[in-house]
Each structure stands twice: as C-alpha cells, then as structure tokens.
Amino acid sequence: MDVKSRQYNLDEAFSYCATVTQAHYENYPVASFFLPQEKRPYIQAIYAFSRIADDYADEQNISKDERLTKLNDWEEKLRQCYDGNADHPVFIALKDTIKKNDIPIDPLKDLIAAFKRDVIQNRYDTFEDLLSYCKCSANPVGRLVLMIFNYRDEKLFELSDCICTALQLTNFWQDVRVDREKDRLYIPIEDMRKYEYKLQDWNNGVINEGFRKLLRFEVERTREMFYKGAELPSLVAKDLQLELKLIWFGGMEILKMIEKNRFEVINSRTQLDAFNKFRIFLRGLIFNDLSNYKKKRKRKEPWDLT
C-alpha cells in the first residue's frame, strides 16, 4: 500500500504498525498478548519504525547510496515527528507513543545509526567493535520497552542492555547463512584468527573443527551475557515480567539448538518450532530465578581436541 495515497487517523496508524509487526517472523515475542493491551500499540509503533528502517538497509537490489538516502529520509521524518509533524502512519503512531510515554529521540536515532552501519560495514575486527554495533542496534529497543512501562532506573537499563546484546549476538550466530548471502560477517575477525578459521573458509561455506570451536566460543560468551541480565525480569512488575522471561528463554533455547545441531549454521538456520515455543512458555511460568537456570559445566565435544 502506498502510504502517501491516503490520510491516516491515529487508530489506523496504530493498526498499520500492528500489521507490520505481525507480518515478520521473530524468534521472540513482539508486543505479544502477554503484555497489557494498552501498552501493545506503543511497542508495535516502535517495532514498525525499526522494522521498516531495517528493511531499507537490507534492500540488496538497490545501491548503498540509495539505501542510505532512504535511511536519511526516515531519520528526517523522525526529526519532524519530534517537531510535531507526521504524515506517515508509522510516525503518526510514533508521535502519540512519544508524547504518552515521554520517549527521548536518542534511542530511535541510535537504531537508524545501526542500520546505516549495516549498509557501509560488513566486517568486524574485534568483539568490542561488534558490541558497539549492538549498543545501537539492540540495546535501545530494551530501553524503550522499559520506558513504556515507566522504568527509568539505570540498573534496569544496564541489565536490559545485557539481554538485548545477547539476543543480537544470538541472531548473528543463528543467521550466519542468511548474512553470508548478503556478504555480512558478524563473527569477529580476531576470533576467527584465534581458532584458525580462515576468511576463505567462510567464503566457501566450510564447517570444520575450527569453525565448531569458534562458534562454541561465541555461543558460550553469549550465554554468559544472558546470565548477566537474568535478574531483570524479577525487578519489574508482572505486567512485563512474563514477556521478558519468554524473550530470555527464547534466546537461550536458540543457543542450545545451535549447539545440538553441531553449529551447522552455514548451511541451515536454526528456528523455534511450536513445540519449542510451548516449552519456553512453560519455563516462563515455572521459573523465576533465571540467574541459576541450568548453568552448565564446561563439557568436551567430540571435535574438541583441547
């Protein structure tokens, strides 16, 4: 639908954002029915804003300059939105979300900065460099959700950052095949060197002992980051608690499945099926102390010669 072909009222704008949210596959619940109904439209508005910008960055059939132009235009619409002007349905909904929840512009600008970075950068030399990307691409989302639920405490923000960064990293290890098709490599080059996995091997889609050691290392430190943020659900009210636990358990389950599949992420994409999601839901209902949930001792895999 050409959004310029008609005028949207506020209800229609929020409905548009809900459609965008529901149209995309996600491992983790996005504004699910476990959240209070009055909060869901605000989260859907933020998701739609981010999703469309992400799609602009991913348009492989147009040039980098054209993608950056689209993102710059999207950022300008954001600035106009904060000035009180909005004609696109996403920004009509976002304008109301901003006003009702006192949302600052910086987290939203950070998201666009991350998508621009996806257009111009496709390799990361160090893990710290990758974390700087996550700081803009993932962490703002968690902070925005907390703001919508009236949380502004820095400790909660920091715990949320840990979970959001862990989720972003999990997506990277899950989407190696998808990103490789776009010539994007999120595995830090320094880690590839450490495990003697060559860039040429990655280009050729090689899965060998070095790759399995490399991915196991990335999965383990991603899991530790989940644990660093594990206290967050217990510090918020029940209206947000279950959603956060489902997100946390969903990320941890993806990591477990990647391990179980022996890190075959170059040739296939690990996904949660209905049974996985049901188990995650049950865990969300049963477990409250996530910080000690199934902490695993280090085990030796058949391909691990260390």
Per residue, the 3-state secondary structure of the chain, as one string, reads CCHHHCCCCHHHHHHHHHHHHHCCCCCCCCCCCCCCCCCHHHHHHHHHHHHHHHHHHHCCCCCHHHHHHHHHHHHHHHHHHHCCCCCCHHHHHHHHHHHHHCCCCHHHHHHHHHHHHHHHCCCCCCHHHHHHHHHHHCHHHHHHHHHHCCCCCHHHHHHHHHHHHHHHHHHHHHCHHHHHHCCCCCCCHHHHHHCCCCHHHHHCCCCCHHHHHHHHHHHHHHHHHHHHCCCHHHHCCHHHHHHHHHHHHHHHHHHHHHHHCCCCCCCCCCCCCHHHHHHHHHHHHHCCCHHHCCCCCCCCCCCCCC
Mean pLDDT of 135-163: 97
Mean pLDDT of 259-266: 93
Using CA atoms, how far residue 217 sits from 177, 221, 300, in Å, is 18, 6, 12
Mean pLDDT of 247-267: 94
pLDDT reported for residue 306? 32
For the chain, domains (ranges, CATH) are 9-120 (1.10.600.10), 123-293 (1.10.600.10)
Q: Cβ atoms within 10 A of the Cβ of 270, count?
A: 24
pLDDT greater at residue 258 or residue 27: 258
pTM (2 decimals)?
A: 0.91
Do 214 and 192 touch, CB atoms closer than 8 A?
yes
Give CA angle at 120 (56, 266), nearest 5°. Answer: 80
Mean pLDDT of 57-85: 95
Identify which of 5-19, 141-155, 278-292 has the greatest average pLDDT.
Answer: 141-155
Q: Among residues of the chain, what percentage have pLDDT more than 90?
A: 79
pLDDT reported for residue 299? 47
- 237 vs 74: CA distance, rounded Å: 34
Q: Among residues of the chain, what percentage have pLDDT more than 70?
A: 92
Q: What is the pLDDT of residues 199-247, one digit of tens each?
A: 999 999 999 999 999 999 999 999 999 999 999 999 999 999 999 999 9
Which range (159-173, 233-247, 270-284, 286-300) has the least confidence?
286-300
Rounded to the nearest integer, the mean pLDDT of the chain is 91
Question: Is it the case that residue 3 has pLDDT exceeding 80?
Answer: no
Mean pLDDT of 73-96: 96
Mean pLDDT of 77-105: 96
Question: Is it the case that residue 118 has pLDDT exceeding 70?
Answer: yes
Mean pLDDT of 162-178: 96
